[in-house]
């Protein structure tokens, strides 16, 4: 992912707007590189831009430690024949952000991405009269609060977005899970060669017969390949049949891994490798926050 031209700006598509968690993941993953960034409020628009060659890379969320996989993203990467070439974990710390001068008693509507709202359910139970309004992204929700200039609206976003749009943080770290991380993937049109590739993302379907998935997973077990994620997704137009999205540790440069995947492909109705890339080994750092209740109104 390097370029010898010092003036070259790497064209990257980012989900959301400046200040979003995707923005943070992008700046950390491409740290030290000059970027020409375009922003997208829909996952499909971003993936289409990568598939059409309008940008070299795209970055978007694919999994959260609290709410699980974002299956739409898996579907789009598969549908548009893109490849995963990297990943980045970002710690999620959701804040309730408002216009300066707003109090809790003023709030009637809260905007955020559906994932952001889902990750703060326990906090919202304390305020059952609030209307939770899904919106494009957490950063765009903060931007909308700034644009509307109303004291009865708020957003779930991060502190970067609050600062960017001139908002106050009325309640910090309101997400349910104190070790809440979102995994972002970097996608490109094709697989890329990298050093230290150690993670593989697959999509497959199995025969509709007893034990079919068990036998598929057995390939990983008997060949000592650690599976880190398994997500099922209904196949449109084929009731009770599923795509399985799987993350497993390994490198296609390893002949043993390659033989395992070739054997696996022969037992599946459909099999495709979506990416083989370096894992973000340092991304997730678990911690506790014993004083949490003191900082939530």
* Residues catalogued as catalytic: 182, 184
Distance CA 166, CA 31 (A): 25
Nearest Cα to Cα of residue 264 among 210, 208, 205: 205
What token pair was written down for 210? 């007893």
The answer to whether residues 62 and 186 touch, using CB atoms and an 8 Å cutoff, is no
> What residues does 156 pair with on adjacent strands?
96
Q: How far apart are CA 269 and CA 212, in angstroms?
A: 10
Structure tokens given for 200: 């593989």
E strand spans, the chain: 10-15, 35-40, 57-64, 68-69, 83-91, 95-98, 109-112, 131-134, 153-157, 168-171, 181-188, 199-205, 227-234, 242-249, 270-277
């Amino acid at each position: 992912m390097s370029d010898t031209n010092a003036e070259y700006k790497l064209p990257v598509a980012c989900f959301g707007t400046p200040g979003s968690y995707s923005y943070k993941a992008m700046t950390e993953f491409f740290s030290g590189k000059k970027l020409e960034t375009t922003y997208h409020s829909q996952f499909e628009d971003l993936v289409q831009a990568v598939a059409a060659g309008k940008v070299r890379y795209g970055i978007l969320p694919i999994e959260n430690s609290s709410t699980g996989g974002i299956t739409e993203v898996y579907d789009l990467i598969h549908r548009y024949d893109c490849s995963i070439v990297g990943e980045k974990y970002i710690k999620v710390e959701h804040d309730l952000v408002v216009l300066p001068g707003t109090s809790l008693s003023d709030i009637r509507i809260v905007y955020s991405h559906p994932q952001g709202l889902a990750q703060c359910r326990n906090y919202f139970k304390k305020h059952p009269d609030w209307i939770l309004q899904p919106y494009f992204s957490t950063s765009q929700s903060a931007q909308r609060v700034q644009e509307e200039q109303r004291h009865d609206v708020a957003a779930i976003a991060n502190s970067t977005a609050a600062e960017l749009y001139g908002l106050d943080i009325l309640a910090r770290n309101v997400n349910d899970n104190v070790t809440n991380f979102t995994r972002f993937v970097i996608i490109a049109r094709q697989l890329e060669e990298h050093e230290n590739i150690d993670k593989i993302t697959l999509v497959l379907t199995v025969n509709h017969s007893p034990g079919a998935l068990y036998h598929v997973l057995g390939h990983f077990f008997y060949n000592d390949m650690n599976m880190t994620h398994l997500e099922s997704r209904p196949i449109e137009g084929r009731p009770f049949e599923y795509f399985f999205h799987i993350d497993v540790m390994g490198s296609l440069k390893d002949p043993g891994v390659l033989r395992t995947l070739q054997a696996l492909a022969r037992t599946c109705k459909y099999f495709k490798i979506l990416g083989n890339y370096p894992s973000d080994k340092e991304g997730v750092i678990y911690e506790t926050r014993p004083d949490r209740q003191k900082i939530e109104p």
